[in-house]
């Protein structure tokens, strides 16, 4: 039973980390048809911004709990600033171009953003342990767990629920679905598609940044942080189906749980298991488990 | 006609002037070399930059400047490298072995670099060794750990100025066997590439030699390098019955593991051996838990902070004054390579009576023994190209009064206790019961 609880919590915790980042990636792809390699940089920018300000405010004597405000504020700030600049300054010139061109452009952007991080924050890692220290630890399933890590499950649940509600229960969600379904028809119906694109990209960027900002207190925030997460996010999105939010959710949970079980029972296949799942999905369902239906155009 | 003659005359004069000045420069090179170029490779971007690359670069820079100014304590007080002033060229080690080989060729063939030092990544060192021999350029590896460089084939122009990784793990196993004679089980978490796997192998083999009743866990953790998230692995380690956890994690991975493991109480339940933990001790400060067995890839950094030799005191004070922090292990590693360069140039220049050639410098370093900042370096292995030094471990205990990290129970292991004899590979030596080891 102890092992079951441990595997479940480990799996959900790891899934939560993947959900937050990959939902942003899949929303951007679903709406804008942009496979955004620079998404890893948004994660890194979120982590750096949050770690930097948590450290600064802590030095000024602010309480550790204020770190949570900084985490969410950092995600929103990175989303607004980076998302707006990149969408308006670069991506809007790419719409309608070949997907490979867009991948190359976002890959170039990824490299640029990584170097800008070095220019702005330097090469020394940042530590922002205060929010994690504030929530302390509890005994669950026979082992000690940090409450902060468990709180990630709550945050990702709220993110997933918020996305679902936004898409299915709001006017904005209907507009978004209309743009996803048929961009030209949406324009002819009077929807301001460029604005939808901008807002979507800002939202996706903020989600990527939120992943980094929330993880920052548990890691050493160092250059290269964004490289690892983008590979995992792509695996999640491919498994779940590109552009599908439920797909990203299920893909994350699948990877998280399988990885947790393999680390506990067969640690030697831990690296293999994530990409084995992806390969199996690609063989039997190349469009992913929950790929949105495509309209056949005549 | 007159114009043509004038042009021809001016042209001839120009060519002659260039030829004469070139010849004069060559003649001057043969008698006196005013400047040498030392290229220093260190991670200046990526996760290894903060804990390894930047301290390493700073250590090299500090010592190059001090040698140029003649400010090093005796016996290195003489100005320059064999009298020549060194120009340091610092470049980024990131980008993989292919990029590093191209960069190395560029530095030697286009920029006329005389010596290349540095490198943390073992993959880079392995890839560059044959290139250094091909280009006949003195190359001194500072930090990379793989024993394969000199065990797989002899090298002519390549040196390493510190012990290889085998010493770290043999010393760790000796320390554990001495401190915990009743140890029943041990496990490990190491990065899934040659560094992590070799480190675990050497530690495991040595501990089995010292304490065969201790059993290694069957569920060893080998996460991907730069994974960053170790929550699941920490759970697995916590549930494992082993009392001790070995890790050769380094850089951001090490720091993330310590932060996450600390919050999960891992280091209260298990004794951890962090073979490269010293590199993170100053940076983590109070967040480095107490009672961790800590190494720093040899007698460097926090392990030798209390060694009061003139060289070590100078290095610690000068580094603190310039960079605002104590020198960590990588700062020592790189500084040691610069010192090896000086030793070689001084010796070669003294014996040649003029600016030494590459071959003379290489011959001077081969098999040399010299005092470094914190230890004695003996180029005893790999036909005189691979150094052996002491190894050291201690136990973390934060000094609240001084407000800085500190170690207790620091133990030094002689070089011949933790490094194999020349001509024997590390694995064979350990498997054969470490014959000839001198540990007292």
Question: What domains can you pick out in chain B, each with its CATH number?
Answer: 32-163+307-374 (3.40.50.2300), 166-296+390-431 (3.40.50.2300)
Nearest to B259 among A13, A220, A225 (CB): A220
Contact B198, B329 (CB under 8 A): no
From the candidates B43, B56, B228, B242, which should be mutated to test the interface with A, based on the most A CB atoms within 10 A? B228
**pLDDT number for residue A242:** 86
ipTM of the complex: 0.82
Average pLDDT of span B70-74: 95
DSSP-derived 3-state class of residue A140: strand
Going by C-beta distance under 8 Å and a sequence separation of 6 or more, which residues neighbour residue B36? B81, B84, B85, B86, B87, B114, B115, B345
- CB burial class (10 A; 0-12, 13-18, 19+) of residue B423? exposed
Ordered alpha helix ranges (H), B106-250: 122-135, 148-151, 165-179, 194-210, 231-239
- The answer to whether the CB atoms of B226 and A267 lie below 8 A apart is no
Give the domain ranges of chain A: 2-223
- The answer to whether the CB atoms of B263 and A270 lie below 8 A apart is no
Q: B46 versus B405: which is more confidently predicted?
A: B405
pLDDT at B123 over 80: yes
**pLDDT number for residue A295:** 59
Chain A hits for B44, Cβ within 8 Å: 123
Phi, psi of A243 (to 5 degrees): 95, 0
Average pLDDT of span B405-431: 95
The CA distances from residue A226 to A216, A240, B227, B243, in Å, are 12, 21, 11, 34
Tell me how many degrees the CA angle B298-B299-B302 measures, rounded to the nearest 5. Answer: 110
Of A69-73, A120-124, B37-41, B206-210, give the lowest mean pLDDT range: A120-124
Among A178, A270, A63, A113, which Cα is nearest to B223's? A270
Nearest to B232 among A127, A225, A259 (CB): A259
Average pLDDT of span B182-208: 94
**pLDDT number for residue B8:** 59
pLDDT at B23 over 60: no
Q: Quote the CA–CA distance of A260 and A245 in Å, as a whole number.
A: 22
Asked if the peptide bond before residue B75 counts as cis, ω within 30 degrees of 0, the response is: yes
Tell me how many degrees the CA angle B263-B267-B273 measures, rounded to the nearest 5. Answer: 130
**pLDDT number for residue A294:** 63
Q: Quote the CA–CA distance of B129 and B100 in Å, as a whole number.
A: 11
Phi, psi of B215 (to 5 degrees): -110, 135
Tell me how many degrees the CA angle A87-A88-A94 measures, rounded to the nearest 5. Answer: 65
Q: Nearest residue of B to residue A18 by CA position?
A: B229
User: What angle in degrees, to the nearest 10, is found between the helix axes of B54-69 and B329-352?
Assistant: 30
- The answer to whether the CB atoms of B227 and A228 lie below 8 A apart is yes
Helix then strand then coil, in percent of chain A rounded to 5, is 75, 5, 20
Interface of B with A (CB under 8 A): 44-47, 49-51, 53-54, 192, 219-224, 226-229, 231-233, 235-236, 238-239, 251-252, 255-256, 259-260, 263-266, 269, 283-284, 287
- Provide the chain A residues 65-94 that lie in CB contact (below 8 A) with chain B: none
- The answer to whether the CB atoms of B232 and A264 lie below 8 A apart is yes
Of A136-140, A268-272, B205-209, B281-285, give the lowest mean pLDDT range: A268-272
Going by C-beta distance under 8 Å and a sequence separation of 6 or more, which residues neighbour residue A253? A11, A12, A15, A19
Average pLDDT of span B272-281: 93
Q: Nearest residue of A to residue B219 by CA position?
A: A267
Q: Quote the CA–CA distance of B424 and A12 in Å, as a whole number.
A: 49
For B296-329, give the DSSP string. Answer: -SSS-GGGGTT---HHHHHHHHHHHHHHSS---H
- The answer to whether the CB atoms of A224 and B264 lie below 8 A apart is no
**pLDDT number for residue A223:** 82
Neighbours of B415 (CB within 10 A): 23
B95-106 pLDDT, tens digit each: 889 999 999 999
Provide the CB-side half-sphere exposure for A57 (13 A, CA). Answer: 20
**pLDDT number for residue B28:** 40
**pLDDT number for residue B26:** 42
CA A51 centroid distance within chain = 18
**pLDDT number for residue B179:** 95
- The answer to whether the CB atoms of A2 and B239 lie below 8 A apart is yes
B337-379 pLDDT, tens digit each: 999 999 999 999 999 888 899 999 999 999 999 999 999 999 9
Contact B146, B195 (CB under 8 A): yes
- The answer to whether the CB atoms of A123 and B54 lie below 8 A apart is yes
**pLDDT number for residue A244:** 87
Chain A hits for B241, Cβ within 8 Å: none
Q: A228 versus A269: which is more confidently predicted?
A: A269
The CA distances from residue B106 to A265, B100, B131, in Å, are 48, 10, 12
Average pLDDT of span B213-234: 91
Of A24-33, A264-273, B20-29, B92-101, give the lowest mean pLDDT range: B20-29
Neighbours of B34 (CB within 10 A): 11
**pLDDT number for residue B51:** 86
Contact A113, A38 (CB under 8 A): yes
- The number of C-beta contacts closer than 8 angstroms across A and B is 136
A140-189 pLDDT, tens digit each: 888 899 999 999 999 999 999 999 899 889 999 999 989 988 888 999 99
- pLDDT band for position A298 (cuts 50, 70, 90): low
- Provide the chain A residues 208-237 that lie in CB contact (below 8 A) with chain B: 215, 218-220, 222-225, 227-228
- pLDDT band for position A120 (cuts 50, 70, 90): very high
Neighbours of B98 (CB within 10 A): 9
**pLDDT number for residue A297:** 55
Average of per-residue pLDDT values in chain A = 90
Given CB atoms, is A144 within the 8 Å cutoff of chain B?
yes
Chain A hits for B252, Cβ within 8 Å: 125, 219-220, 222, 224-225
Neighbours of B258 (CB within 10 A): 26
DSSP-derived 3-state class of residue B385: coil
Q: Which two tokens stand for residue B133?
A: 């021999």
For residue B115, give the H/E element and its range: strand B115-118
Q: Which two tokens stand for residue A265?
A: 């029972």
Q: Look at strands B35-42 and B115-118 and give their pairing.
A: parallel
Q: Which two tokens stand for residue B315?
A: 């290095």
Q: Quote the CA–CA distance of B314 and A264 in Å, as a whole number.
A: 49
pLDDT at B2 over 80: no
Chain B hits for A140, Cβ within 8 Å: none
- pLDDT band for position A293 (cuts 50, 70, 90): low
- pLDDT band for position B5 (cuts 50, 70, 90): low
Among B36, B26, B33, B41, which Cα is nearest to B132's? B41
**pLDDT number for residue A125:** 81
For residue A230, give the H/E element and its range: helix A225-240
- pLDDT band for position B20 (cuts 50, 70, 90): very low
Ordered alpha helix ranges (H), B32-162: 54-69, 97-105, 122-135, 148-151
Q: Quote the CA–CA distance of B170 and B199 in Å, as a whole number.
A: 9
Provide the CB-side half-sphere exposure for B254 (13 A, CA). Answer: 30
């Amino acid at each position: 039973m102890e092992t079951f609880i441990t595997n479940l919590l480990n799996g959900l915790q790891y899934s939560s980390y993947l959900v937050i980042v990959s939902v942003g990636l899949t929303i951007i792809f679903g709406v804008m048809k942009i496979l955004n390699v620079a998404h890893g940089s948004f994660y890194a920018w979120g982590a750096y911004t949050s770690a930097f300000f948590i450290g600064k405010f802590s030095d000024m004597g602010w309480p550790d709990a204020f770190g949570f405000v900084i985490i969410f504020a950092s995600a929103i700030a990175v989303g607004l600033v980076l998302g707006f600049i990149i969408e308006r300054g670069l991506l809007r010139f790419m719409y309608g171009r070949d997907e490979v061109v867009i991948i190359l452009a976002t890959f170039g952007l990824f490299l640029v953003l990584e170097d800008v991080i070095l220019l702005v924050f330097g090469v020394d890692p940042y530590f922002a342990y205060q929010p994690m220290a504030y929530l302390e630890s509890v005994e669950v399933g026979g082992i000690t767990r940090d409450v902060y890590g468990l709180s990630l499950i709550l945050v990702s649940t709220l993110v997933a629920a918020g996305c679902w509600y936004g898409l299915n229960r709001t006017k904005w969600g209907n507009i978004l679905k209309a743009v996803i379904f048929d961009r030209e028809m949406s324009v002819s119906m009077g929807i301001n598609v460029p604005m939808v694109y901008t807002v979507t990209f800002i939202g996706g960027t903020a989600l990527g940044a939120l992943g980094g900002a929330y993880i920052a207190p548990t890691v050493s925030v160092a250059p290269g942080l964004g490289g690892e997460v983008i590979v995992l996010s792509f695996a999640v999105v491919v498994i779940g189906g590109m552009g599908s939010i439920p797909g990203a959710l299920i893909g994350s949970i699948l990877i998280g749980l399988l990885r947790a079980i393999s680390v506990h029972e067969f640690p030697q296949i831990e690296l293999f298991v994530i990409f084995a799942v992806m390969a199996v999905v690609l063989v039997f369902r190349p469009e992913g488990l929950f790929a949105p239906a495509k309209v056949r155009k005549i | 006609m007159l114009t043509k003659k004038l042009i021809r005359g001016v042209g001839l004069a120009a060519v002659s002037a260039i030829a004469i000045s070139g010849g004069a420069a060559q003649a001057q090179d043969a008698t006196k070399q005013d400047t040498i170029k030392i290229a220093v490779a260190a991670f200046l971007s990526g996760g290894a930059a903060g804990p390894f690359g930047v301290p390493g670069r700073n250590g090299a820079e500090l010592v190059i400047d001090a040698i140029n100014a003649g400010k090093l304590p005796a016996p290195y007080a003489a100005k320059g490298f064999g009298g020549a002033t060194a120009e340091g060229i610092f470049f980024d080690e990131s980008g993989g072995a292919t990029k590093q080989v191209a960069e190395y060729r560029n530095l030697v063939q286009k920029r006329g670099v005389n010596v290349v030092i540095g490198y943390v990544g073992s993959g880079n060192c392995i890839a560059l060794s044959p290139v250094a021999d091909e280009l006949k350029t003195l190359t001194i590896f500072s930090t990379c750990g793989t024993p394969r460089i000199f065990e797989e084939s002899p090298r002519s122009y390549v040196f390493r100025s510190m012990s290889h990784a085998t010493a770290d793990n043999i010393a760790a196993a000796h320390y554990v066997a001495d401190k915990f004679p009743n140890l029943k089980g041990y496990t490990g978490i190491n990065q899934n590439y040659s560094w992590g796997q070799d480190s675990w192998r050497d530690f495991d083999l040595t501990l089995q030699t010292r304490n065969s009743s201790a059993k290694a866990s069957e569920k060893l953790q080998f996460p991907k390098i730069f994974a960053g998230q170790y929550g699941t692995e920490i759970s697995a380690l916590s549930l494992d019955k082993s009392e001790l956890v070995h890790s050769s994690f380094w850089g951001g991975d090490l720091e993330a593991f310590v932060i996450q493991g600390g919050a999960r109480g891992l280091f209260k339940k298990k004794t951890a051996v962090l073979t490269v933990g010293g590199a993170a001790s100053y940076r983590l400060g109070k967040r480095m838990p107490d009672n961790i067995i800590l190494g720093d890839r040899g007698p460097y950094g926090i392990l030798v902070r209390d060694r009061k030799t003139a060289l070590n005191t100078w290095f610690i004070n000068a580094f603190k004054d310039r960079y605002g922090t104590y020198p960590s292990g990588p700062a020592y590693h790189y500084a040691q390579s610069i010192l090896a360069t000086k030793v070689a140039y001084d010796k070669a220049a003294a014996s040649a009576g003029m600016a030494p050639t590459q071959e003379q410098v290489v011959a001077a370093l081969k098999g040399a023994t010299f005092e470094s900042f914190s230890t004695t370096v003996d180029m005893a292995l790999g036909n005189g190209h691979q150094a052996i030094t002491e190894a050291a471990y201690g136990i973390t205990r934060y000094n609240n009064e001084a407000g800085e990290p500190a170690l207790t129970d620091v133990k030094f292991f002689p070089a011949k206790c933790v490094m194999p004899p020349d001509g024997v590979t590390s694995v064979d030596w350990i498997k054969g019961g470490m014959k000839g080891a001198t540990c007292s």
